[in-house]
Chain A
């Protein structure tokens, strides 16, 4: 593999409302691998996610981000998605009047153009994926996230990931607010995606502040973020330690200001 493969972030700095939130982030997610990004609230995890997908309020001031060699930072959000980047939002927007089925079809056509997917065939695919997520087919006729419960929103984010089969997906606290059944469904969907032809090479960046989801999605690499920096990188044992001892120990070890 060439050095260009991967979702590669280097020296990335980002400001929100002129306040620096990310202070030089270096991170590379390789195809087919799972990286967990852990950290307490306010450490900058969501900022990293939103900066990568191109939220207009998140100003990148230095560094680079490339997707299999293609620079992301100059691209509009839709072009980043077409390049193969996906974010499962922590708080996805509700869009009244836009039906889930129509939205998913438009998104699929946008990121995988020229496919032979007819609306009927696509619907069948959706229903199959929805079953795996424990979602009723009536979801398709509902307005996007409009009046959805927290758990329903997260399932819909996962359905979108399953349908769009991105090259790299960032899951921003997809586990928060979910009961154990929902968590298991989501774990199974991710496992199914990763064992499918379309999703075998999908690299995942799983953002969480509880290690709970990592029982369902086994990480290859675990990073800990504090105050806008990645202060420690390790394997799954690092996540287990955080579960036992909390972030304060890592904070003390890394010498970050408490």
Chain B
């Protein structure tokens, strides 16, 4: 294994070692990245990007790259760059999660104490510049607490951004994490989001990737506590020559938990997308309730989206549903709108935005207008 890892990147780790992650932790993570890298499946015939070719050798690694700001109006919430106390390493077990941990250089730690209800969203903003940014967000919502966290990733001229977001919640809590990625169009973005909800806790993970030329995203939800309810809503819209590769996995390890995954995507011009949706229900996880719905819209003959839903169901007394559609705009809808004087282009834009709207409405009010505007810009 060691022979696969080029030596050079390891020598560049030292400047990153800090109070959060030691050089040993980082070295082990980078080692894991190179091990996992060899395991990626080959690109499909539509897929023009060889993800294995995305290396670290050519990166201008900058420990001072990018910035983070955390805004929280509730003094009871602990926020800042305190050391991670969560000990949850699920996110760093994925390929790009491992890379993110190896070079992590901007942190946001949010801890919501038990029983409190945080009214205003806690906003974490990462801003990329040129070169690299490796954000690490760690969120803990304790027992019975309620909070919404907005994570925004923007900026970045030719930037390489690779980050981790972890969220762990306590019994009976309610947490929402809404991520909006709007990096400049020549940037690359790799993200790993992992969630571990507590007993009878509800967790909502919303992701919108509306920037960057290459997006590789992983959402990983583990249901280890009974009565947990996880909702994932993701949307993406590659246009021009962008690529989005999103994978979500909901792992029902105990019975009596619920999950719902909703993905909406569209591709325009030469945009390419791939969504892989996994639902796993363990053998003993009876009374699990899982659903996965993935709808994709193709707006140009050269656009392409692969949709790969996969259910692995080990238990026999469960509710599991999955459905996927990939299609073009509906001619009868467009015709109807044009008979009301709306021209064809506007009708196409409205139907496209309408396609996303049920997902957009799930987002916090603060993000909705921006999401709609950015979707509209891509629907042109």
Contacts and interface: CB of A to CB of B under 8 A. Distances in A.
24 contacts: A54-B339, A55-B335, A76-B343, A77-B335, A78-B341, A78-B342, A81-B340, A82-B341, A89-B336, A89-B339, A92-B336, A93-B332, A97-B353, A97-B354, A97-B356, A98-B357, A99-B357, A106-B346, A107-B340, A110-B341, A110-B346, A143-B354, A144-B354, A164-B341
A216 interface: no
Interface of A: 53-56, 76-78, 80-82, 86-87, 89, 92-99, 102-103, 106-107, 110-111, 143-144, 160, 164
Nearest to B353: A97
Interface in B324-365: 330-333, 335-344, 346-347, 350-351, 353-358
Contacts of A111: 340-341
- Highest count of chain A CB atoms <10 Å: which of B330, B339, B358: B339
Contacts of B346: 106, 110
A76 B336 contact: no
A98 B351 CA distance: 7
Interface of B: 330-333, 335-344, 346-347, 350-351, 353-358
A224 to B, nearest CB: 26
Nearest to B345: A78
A47 B333 CA distance: 18
A156 to B, nearest CB: 11
A160 B337 CA distance: 12
A144 B330 CA distance: 14
From DSSP, what is the main secondary structure of chain A's interface residues?
A: mixed
Nearest to A55: B335
Contacts of B350: 95, 98, 102-103, 106
Nearest to A145: B336
A81 B355 CA distance: 25
B332 to A, nearest CB: 5
- Highest count of chain A CB atoms <10 Å: which of B331, B336, B343, B344: B336
- Highest count of chain B CB atoms <10 Å: which of A55, A95, A103: A95
Contact of A76 (B330, B344, B353, B358): B344
Contacts of A98: 350-351, 353-354, 357
A4 B139 CA distance: 72
Contacts of B356: 97
A106 B354 CA distance: 14
Contacts of B336: 89, 92-93, 95
Given A56-B335, A92-B336, A95-B337, A110 B342 contact: yes
A160 to B, nearest CB: 7
A54 B337 CA distance: 12
A55 B358 CA distance: 29
Contacts of A96: 354-355, 357-358
Contacts of B343: 76, 78, 110
A223 B212 CA distance: 61
Given A97-B355, A98-B357, A106 B335 contact: no
B354 A164 contact: no
A115 to B, nearest CB: 13
Contacts of A144: 354
Given A78-B347, A107-B340, 20 more contacts: A55-B335, A56-B331, A77-B335, A78-B341, A89-B339, A93-B332, A93-B333, A93-B336, A95-B336, A95-B351, A96-B357, A97-B351, A97-B358, A98-B350, A103-B350, A106-B350, A107-B337, A107-B342, A111-B340, A144-B354
Q: 9 closest Cβ contacts across the A-B interface?
A: A97-B354, A97-B357, A110-B341, A81-B341, A107-B340, A111-B341, A98-B354, A93-B336, A77-B338
A177 to B, nearest CB: 18
Contacts of B333: 93-95
A107 B344 contact: no
A80 B339 contact: yes
Given A56-B331, A76-B344, A95 B338 contact: no
A76 B337 CA distance: 12
Contacts of B347: 78
Nearest to A77: B338
A171 to B, nearest CB: 14
B262 to A, nearest CB: 13
